[in-house]
Chains A and B, each alone.
Chain A
Amino acid sequence: MITIDINKKLYGANGEMDLDVYLEIEEGDFIALAGQSGSGKTTLLRILAGFEEAEGTLQIGDELWLQGSKALAPQKRRIGFVFQDYALFPNMTVEENLLFVKQDRALAEHLLEITELSELKKRLPNTLSGGQKQRVSLCRAMMNRPKLLLMDEPLSALDPTMRTKLQSEILLLHKEFGTTTIMVSHDPSEIYRLASRVVVLELGKMVNDGTPKEVLLKTNGSQKFSFEGELLEIVKVDVIYVAIIAIGQQLVEVVISEHEAENLKIGESIRVSTKAFAPTISQ
């Protein structure tokens, strides 16, 4: 069991803000941390890693990482951290990056095999693609068999195909090692695929906590489809108004009434839902 009960004053883009989080996490859980930027997600991760000070309690099993303001050094916590920018050691080969954490050749070989990196083990990080670098970073984070794996938007710099591949590997590693994981992510499909629980932060406070289905599925009542999107433009065609909306990577057109057209603002975040009785799916 991991108990997080922390408090920290933040001075961010939105002025002064209290980061106030109480969380109990079962061992082996995969938690996704969501919320708008500036909500304190990364800070929470950095407090867990010991990079930033905070007041409160952090209890991991029977170990106390934080008690009041007395914190255990990051060196003694045995955590894994996957950074968005990979943060590999450029002067070491892929293999050396892993062995730097721990001289455990068998584990290094095994991890590189799972992530299909064995052939690249003598290469320097700067010769690798973004996806390969992040796989190395993931392997490196697993090298000390961490009690807690922290990932700060690990896949947000990668293209969609590479993302899906990495998601599978993260799942694979999570299944094999059973490491308790906390991942910051903005991508609903990623959260749905990986996490068993979603915690949403807003201005430093927890505003939602549940399974991905409960938190992410936005349909209610008889609605069958519901999408969050951004309003790009409203075009008047004869007597009707057509709204151009970006949903994920797709653009769609929706007919709206004159009244709606007057009330909507370009750039607003809106929800598009429909009652579809017999949707068709094709490949």
Chain B
Amino acid sequence: MLETLKTIELTPFILSFKLAGITTLILFVISLPLAWYLSQTKSKAKPFLEAVTALPIVLPPSVLGFYILVVLSQNSPLGQFFDETFDIKLVFNFTGLVVASCFYSLPFMVQPLQGGFESLNKNMLEASYISGKSKMTTMLRVALPNIKPALMTAIIITFAHTVGEFGVVLMVGGSIPDETKVASVAIYEMVEIMDYRTAHIYSAIMVAISFLVLLGVYIFNHKQSKKIGGFH
């Protein structure tokens, strides 16, 4: 058993986690101001922005992947610009995967954060404003520290969701070993070549990791809600 495990190629998993880590980091930076804006704005553009943000949940990954290919491939103006100016290719490599994942997982970061911000006591935020604090300072020092469960959910779910993506990755990245062959794609390939043993092992690892991650989040949130029970 141990011998078999040793022969298992772990690169797809490392690639998956590297992709998920980078995507989560980028999305956190992008989503924080976006979620804050959505939670505070009374603008008529809000439903429009919310719908756009939620699109990746509804769309088939193939649609998303197709559009990303169209916009980022070397035949497109954007792809051409990046290729000629920075010598960066945006599809069929790891960079392309990161860009695609950021689109794909955006709602999983924005929505929990927005929900967290919206549940905060408005008076508390106003108390910060009359103390002379800007919206930015209020978000970072008052709002964010008080939505820890939502923050935790956003980060973990985004991470886990990126690890679990398949369709978009396959379309935008293909299956280049050590570059774009992430765990989910590797499993797909194992099944295709009828290497069920490896497919079983890979799948079991995915199930175990995903379950542990989710369990961790729910335990954390359970504890947090007990700790700040009196506060709404």
The chain A residue with its CB closest to the CB of B124 is A87
Are B124 and A88 neighbours in the complex by a CB distance under 8 Å?
A: yes
- On whether A89 and B132 interact (CB within 8 A), knowing A126-B230, A140-B127, the answer reads no
Q: Which residues of chain A are within 8 angstroms of B126 by Cβ–Cβ distance?
A: 49, 51, 74, 81, 83, 87
Number of interface residues of A (CB under 8 A): 26
Is B208 an interface residue, CB under 8 A from the partner?
no
Q: 0/1 per residue, A112-156, Cβ < 8 Å to B?
A: 000000000000001000000000000010011000000000000
- On whether A90 and B228 interact (CB within 8 A), knowing A85-B121, A100-B141, the answer reads yes
Distance between B143 CB and nearest chain A CB, rounded to angstroms: 10
Are B130 and A77 neighbours in the complex by a CB distance under 8 Å?
A: yes
Distance between A161 CB and nearest chain B CB, rounded to angstroms: 21
* Chain B facing A: main interface SS: helix
Is A234 an interface residue, CB under 8 A from the partner?
no
Contacting A90 at CB < 8 Å: which of B128, B132, B134, B146? B146
Is A19 an interface residue, CB under 8 A from the partner?
no
Is B47 an interface residue, CB under 8 A from the partner?
no
Number of interface residues of B (CB under 8 A): 19
Are A74 and B130 neighbours in the complex by a CB distance under 8 Å?
A: yes
Q: Which residues of chain B are within 8 angstroms of A101 by Cβ–Cβ distance?
A: 131-132
A50 to B129, CA, bound (A): 10
Contacting B123 at CB < 8 Å: which of A76, A87, A126? A87
- On whether A79 and B130 interact (CB within 8 A), knowing A85-B121, A91-B145, A91-B146, the answer reads yes
Q: 0/1 per residue, B191-231, Cβ < 8 Å to A?
A: 00000000000000000000000000000000000001011
Distance between A126 CB and nearest chain B CB, rounded to angstroms: 5
- On whether A75 and B146 interact (CB within 8 A), knowing A87-B123, A87-B124, A89-B124, the answer reads no
Are B129 and A74 neighbours in the complex by a CB distance under 8 Å?
A: yes
* Chain A facing B: main interface SS: loop
Is A80 an interface residue, CB under 8 A from the partner?
yes
Are A75 and B145 neighbours in the complex by a CB distance under 8 Å?
A: no
A87 to B141, CA, bound (A): 15
Are B121 and A144 neighbours in the complex by a CB distance under 8 Å?
A: no
A181 to B81, CA, bound (A): 62
A162 to B150, CA, bound (A): 36
The chain B residue with its CB closest to the CB of A150 is B130
A75 to B138, CA, bound (A): 11
Distance between B184 CB and nearest chain A CB, rounded to angstroms: 38
Q: Which residues of chain A are within 8 angstroms of B128 by Cβ–Cβ distance?
A: 89, 100
A residues touching B (Cβ–Cβ < 8 Å)? 49-51, 73-81, 83, 85, 87-91, 100-102, 126, 140, 143-144
B residues touching A (Cβ–Cβ < 8 Å)? 121, 123-124, 126-134, 141-142, 145-146, 228, 230-231
